[in-house]
Amino acid sequence: MPEITAHEGVLQYTHLGARWLSTGWRGGYCVSSTAYNVSVPEQWEDVDLDAYATARRDQAGYDASGPTLFTGVDLEHARGARCHPVEAVVTAGISNPAALPMEPTPKATPRTDAKRKTGTVNIILSTTEALTDGALATLLACAVEAKTATLLAETGFPGTTTDAVVVGCNQLNSGEKRPFAGSATEIGAAARACVRESIRASLTSRYEETPLPTSVADAQYGVTTTQRADVFEILEC
């Protein structure tokens, strides 16, 4: 299973021979033995993220590059969960919730100040199995679905304005690449369980002494999607 270490506010997730799919900065598919979650300071200014990530890795003594996420949550609140053949590590904070009401009422939307330290739910998840690119994308969808369901149950919000997910698989596994990783598969079910448990544990740690926001107005930052889209029918030729 992967090795997880943290130093100087940088969490390094090492999984030898991993192929990743990331929704974070410079996301997409890549091959690397490491992925990172970097806790950023209060009053964080806009920066060159590539240079910033490199500097923070160097400061922490990590010399390998890899997909990198950024979070306003201190790493003391990071929590992991394992369910063979999947492992996940999460930081969860919801100071910047993104609400999606089913019956929106048009009104001014609070703006998120990107220069301040905000929450974010960041997930790094990997499996020891080998997956096709399509299955790896499905695994990412499973992780996001589990994140949304867990946050709705625990906080009433489906996510925050800055959530990000990195999922990986072991491309060195000599077995045939799995073509599916949905919720009915062993991998997908394990991923959903790992995300659920680790998010709940991280939220419990992060909000042990401070209350969870109960609305966007109650939070420090956040947005509510108040606009409506136009619905149209698909006509059969």
- Tens place of pLDDT per residue across the chain (237 aa): 789 999 999 999 999 999 999 999 999 999 999 999 999 987 777 689 999 999 999 999 999 999 999 999 999 999 999 999 999 999 999 999 999 999 998 765 555 444 455 679 999 999 999 999 999 999 999 999 999 999 999 999 999 999 999 999 999 888 899 999 999 999 999 999 999 999 999 999 999 999 999 999 999 889 999 999 999 999 998
What whole-number distance in Å separates Cα of residue 91 and Cα of residue 4?
A: 13
- All structural domains of the chain with their residue ranges: 3-224
Element (DSSP H or E) covering residue 71: strand 68-71
Whole-structure pTM value = 0.94
Between CA 36 and CA 70 the distance in angstroms is 8
Instruction: From residue 139, give the alpha-carbon distance in Å to each of 124, 128, 168, 184, 195.
Output: 12, 13, 9, 11, 11
Under CATH, which architecture does the 3-224 domain have?
A: 4-Layer Sandwich (3.60)
